[in-house]
Every structure is written in C-alpha cells, then in structure tokens.
Structure 1
C-alpha cells in the first residue's frame, strides 16, 4: 500500500481536525535558523551553500499537533528545486516517568520542480529523560523513488551547565530497495545558548563510503555552523 501523496488543502483539513480543541488549549511555537549548510541525514541539501530555515507548530492539550517547516535547497539544476516545506501531523506525550513518544506523518514538498520530488514518511521517536532518543522512519516512497526506505537514529544530548550542551547522533538509512545500497552517518555538535532565545550551534558531520557513492559531492565530512532561535 502506497502512502497517499498529501496535498496542501488536505493537510490543512487534517491539521484543523487534529487541533479540534478549545483555542485556549492550543500552544503555538516556532523556530528559525541561519546555517552555513543544510545537512539532512548526513548529506547536504544545498550543495554546501547556506540556508535560511523557519518553522511553526500548533499543539493541542491532548498531544495532537501540526507543524510546517521550510528551507531553501539546491539539488540537480534540471530539477529546478529551490525550496522545501515539511508538513507534519502527529501526536506526542509521556508514556511513563522519564519516557516520551512522538509519532507523526511527515510530508516533504518541493514546489515548482520539473519532476515530482514530493514524498511522505512515517516517523516514531522514543525519548528517555529528555536527553536520549531512538528514532525510526519508514516510507514506501523513500526520497520520491516509489521504493521502500527505512531510517534509524540513536542520539543523546549532555547539558554542560546552563548555557552549554553537547549533542550527538548516529544513523543508518536502508535504501537497498531504492538504490541498491545503504549508508551510515554520525554527527557531534556543541550548542551555546548565549542569550535567550538565541543559540549558536557548531556540528561536525561524517558519512561512510556508501553515502559518498550514493550521493557524490553531497556526503562525506563537513562542519556546519548555525545561529538558531526558538520562540
């Protein structure tokens, strides 16, 4: 069964239904970032160029939420891809003391392209003590290939006082059905919360040789710096 392609009006309807709560019970939040490179699962989405990113989220008291996030991108010139919008509907909440769960459907949309790059993915993340997480994502249209793909990640953050923290993660993307290969990546970063709500993040990324074969010039070792804010 293929995950249906979500159109913006349909997603808006799902979003409104998911947030069918009294207005006072809905929490609005957002984020923004200016980064030297948009790296996603270890690979550059902007050909090593900077990116401007922003997102907004509305969450109901029952745990249901909807969000939209956007960034500029730069793929192969013939695709004419210049922007990405991620539309997300899901649920998050506590399972027990120290344990939390987030499950969602994410639709990646690239408007104005000459080929169909849009695709959707089911995601689930379990978090322990707010500092350790395990994530799994699955799609039967991974990277708009009409083939199966599964992604898994383990991550952790370590607070170092009130203003500093370290964040690290390792992930693997199984794309054998789509590309005949899979790849792994890792990242380690430091975050300085120098003045609320602003933070400065520097992250080192690395991938294995399989990623370099799958995505030439987009994978490998990179260092990314970003100024980010949450509000």
Structure 2
C-alpha cells in the first residue's frame, strides 16, 4: 500500500477511535482488612477503598484505585494508589485478555516504595483465569519478581458465587524466598450494585518470614458498591 493510502487508513482508524465513547465506572468498598497476595497491607486493620475506571470502545482503559495502608516497620506510607493503563477485550468466543501496566504509588515516602509491574490475565468463559505479572523492581526491592495466579469461579445462584485462587510469587534470592498463598471467597449480591464478600487467605512459611505478623491465615470481609 502506498504512503497516501496508508495515511488514509490511519486517519480513518483515528476517527473511528475518536468516535467511540468512553465508559466510566467506579467502586467504593469498606473492608475489614486489605490483603494483597496473601499479606495484610493495613496491619489487619480496616480499609476504605475506592476506584474509578474509564474504558474506551477500543478496549483501552485507564484506572486509579486507592486504599489506606499501614506497614511495619513504619515507612511513612498512609495510602496507596494504583495507576493502571491497559487493554482488555475478547480474543476468541470463550477467551478474553487483560494486559496492563500498574504503577504502585505511596505518597509520603519520597517515592522510595513506588514501583511498576506489567501484567496479563487470560480468562476462559468467565470461569477460570491465569495471571502472570513481572517487575524488574518487585515490591520496590531493587530485584526482579514474577507473580503467577490461577483461579476458578463457580456460580451457586444468580446472586452467589465462589472464587478460589492459588498464587506463587517468585522473587530474587537476594531479596526474599519465593512464597505461595491460597484464597477462597464467597461473594453475594445484596442489591443490583452492592455485594458482600468473605475471603479466607493462607500463606506458606516463606511468606510469614517475609511479612512477619501480616502473612499466614487471615479472614477478610468487605462490602462493595459499584457505580
């Protein structure tokens, strides 16, 4: 194709993208704990969390999610914001993909705890998923880390579902040993835009050594609204 023809196609594509409307959604949640990959991020205290996401018709999206945090030893962080840029869409009739880059931000720490991760999640029939995530600066520790999670979702009724997941975090030996965790959730819709969930978490001894006092066996209960 000549340069003029290619330019015309690119222009038409830009117009088509520009004409597509962005869909803005959000969430607001109150949780008994904020547990991330098996470890409490709030010292087992309650968390208030909120997020907003703008999704373009092309599948491109941007989102911002935040929560209060509390770490030991005290790093000065009182909040976490996850800024995400990504794409999600259908790959085949039964398969979908979400690929994104996430920047974890902790105001008040002089950017010492900020780090970036690339992630991709493949989902089959909205019933099972496989996630792979990698960072060259995992947990802001200066070493690479790769996280993998496999999960399944089972509907018990129109309002209730079960979700189970197993995750493994492979970290550079200079930073910490690899660790594993599992979680099991019961989620129940109590209104069209409201749901309550209870999640049990468990980790191995490596996680307990890496996150003393914050890993192990935990129960998290949350009420979430979507808008």
Q: 2:207 aligns to what SS in structure 1?
A: helix
Matched, 1:100 2:76: no
Indicate which of 193, 196, 211 corresponds to 2:207.
Answer: 211
Q: Do structure 1's residue 222 and structure 2's residue 187 form an aligned pair?
A: no
Distance 1:23 1:48, change over 3 A: farther
Give, in whole Å, the separation in 2 of the partners of 1:58 and 1:178.
39
Q: CA deviation at 1:42?
A: 0.3
Secondary structure of the residue that 2:142 maps to in structure 1? coil
> Which of 19, 24, 29 in structure 2 is aligned with 1:28?
24
Indicate how the Cα distance of structure 1 residues 202 and 45 shifts in structure 2: closer, same or farther if over 3 A, else same. Answer: same
TM-score normalized by structure 2? Answer: 0.90
SS in structure 1 at match of 2:178: strand
- In 1, Cα distance between the equivalents of 2:180 and 2:110? 30
Of residues 175, 180, 187 in structure 2, which corresponds to 1:184?
Answer: 180
| Structure 1 residue 213 displacement after superposition | 0.9
- Return the alpha-carbon distance in structure 2 between the equivalents of residues 77 and 149 of structure 1: 22
Q: Which runs of 5+ in 2 are unaligned?
A: 1-15
Q: Residues 154 and 94 (structure 1 numbering): CA distance in 2 closer, same or farther, change over 3 Å?
A: same
User: How far, CA to CA, are the matches of 1:21 and 1:54 in structure 2?
Assistant: 28
- How far 1:22 moved relative to its partner? 3.6
What is the TM-score with the length of structure 1 in the denominator? 0.88
Instruction: Pick the aligned partner of 1:164 from 157, 160, 165.
Output: 160
Ranges in structure 1 where 5+ consecutive residues have no aligned partner? 1-19
Q: Aligned partners of 1:34 and 1:96: how far apart in 2?
A: 36
Alignment check: 8 A CA contact 1:36 1:226 kept: yes
Q: State the aligned residue count.
A: 212
CA contact (8 A) 1:145 1:178 kept: no
Distance across 1 between alignment mates of 2:207 and 2:17: 44
**Mapped partners of 1:128, 1:155: distance in 2:** 10
